[in-house]
Amino acid sequence: MPIKIPANLPAFDVLTREGVMVMDPDAADRQDIRPLRIGLLNLMPKKIQTENQFARLIGATPLQIELSLIRMTEHQARNTAADHMESFYRPFSEVAESGEKFDGLIVTGAPIEHLDFDAVTYWEELRQVFDWTQSHVHSTFGVCWGGMAMINHFHGVAKHMLSEKAFGCFRHRNMAPSSPYLRGFSDDCVIPVSRWTEMRAAEIADAPGLTILLHSDDVGPCLVEDPGHRAIYIFNHLEYDSDTLKQEYDRDIANGTPIALPCNYYPDDDPACQPQNRWRSHAHLLYGNWINQIYQTTPFDMDRIGEATA
């Protein structure tokens, strides 16, 4: 089955060229199927690139997915055209006021990790989003800063600044092979990392109800399950394209920002070489497993979403 997105969203043509099944809303409405409603709260500056990355992964399952794009109400995007935001995104205040519910919600990262959480201009509204998920979203997936923010909100776990950026492709150990989210995973896997902060394994372990599913000896915990809040959190970037780390490296070099070569990324550590993607299969496994887990457990009647914790 395809992912249901507007035919004029840039991701529609990108994914069609890649062979991902996409369907415009008119065609989807003719199918007698309840699609899974997945929201994307997109906090990244490059909105279109991020839309493509997540739509590619959640649209690769046999299920019909209806993707809804959401933004913070007052925060204005500076790197994406205003007409794109106006055409395809709804502010969270409008979504919350409508009372609608979602089978899943992805909360992306944001390039503000150097700030304390309460120094972020939209922090109070984001806390409202997190609380709203408990009654209006069946399963939430927090990514990078978004995942750290959710753990901090629900469990008080702190994020810590690193002395240097964790940047590159790092091996991670599968700590829970029986987890439904890691179905099909190898004993270890390579995952792109790009962050200046960390959450520490010991502090996560001290928080009741949290389980570390993927961990790296080099860059710490990666994937954390929080069943009490029907959420999982990933601190790293399985959704990245092959050249995303290259784009970040080239940007910093061009801006004169001190940056080390991303670890284990370029063949022979030569930035003139084309990077090789060694994480794509595990990216599809993780997001496919998340979608499947939602499908297996979400109520058919969407009004019942959140009943247990409402």
Instruction: Assess if residue 226 is contained within a domain.
Output: yes
In contact, 194 and 165? CB cutoff 8 Å: yes
Rounded-to-integer distance, Cα 282 and Cα 189, Å = 7
Instruction: Assess if residue 167 is contained within a domain.
Output: no
Among all residues, which ones are annotated catalytic? 144, 237, 239
Instruction: Assess if residue 89 is contained within a domain.
Output: yes
Structure tokens at 306: 């959140």
H/E element, 251: helix 244-255
Instruction: Assess if residue 185 is contained within a domain.
Output: no
Instruction: Assess if residue 182 is contained within a domain.
Output: no
Instruction: Assess if residue 114 is contained within a domain.
Output: yes
267 burial (CB, 10 Å; 0-12 / 13-18 / 19+) is exposed
**Tens digit of each residue's pLDDT, the chain (310 residues):** 456 667 788 877 776 777 665 655 555 454 445 789 999 999 999 999 999 999 999 988 888 899 999 999 987 777 677 888 889 999 999 999 999 999 999 999 999 999 999 999 999 999 999 999 999 999 999 999 999 999 999 999 999 999 999 999 999 999 999 999 999 999 999 999 999 999 999 999 999 999 999 999 999 999 999 999 999 999 999 999 999 999 999 999 999 988 999 999 999 999 999 999 999 999 999 999 999 999 989 998 999 998 854 3
Structural domain boundaries enclosing 34: 3-159+199-239+284-304
Q: What's the N-to-C CA distance of the chain in angstroms?
A: 32
| Predicted pLDDT at 23 | 56
Look up the CATH number of the domain holding residue 53.
3.40.50.880
- Three-state SS letters, 179-194: CHHHCCCCCEEEEEEE
Instruction: Assess if residue 260 is contained within a domain.
Output: no
The structural domain count of the chain equals: 1
Instruction: Assess if residue 269 is contained within a domain.
Output: no
In contact, 173 and 196? CB cutoff 8 Å: no
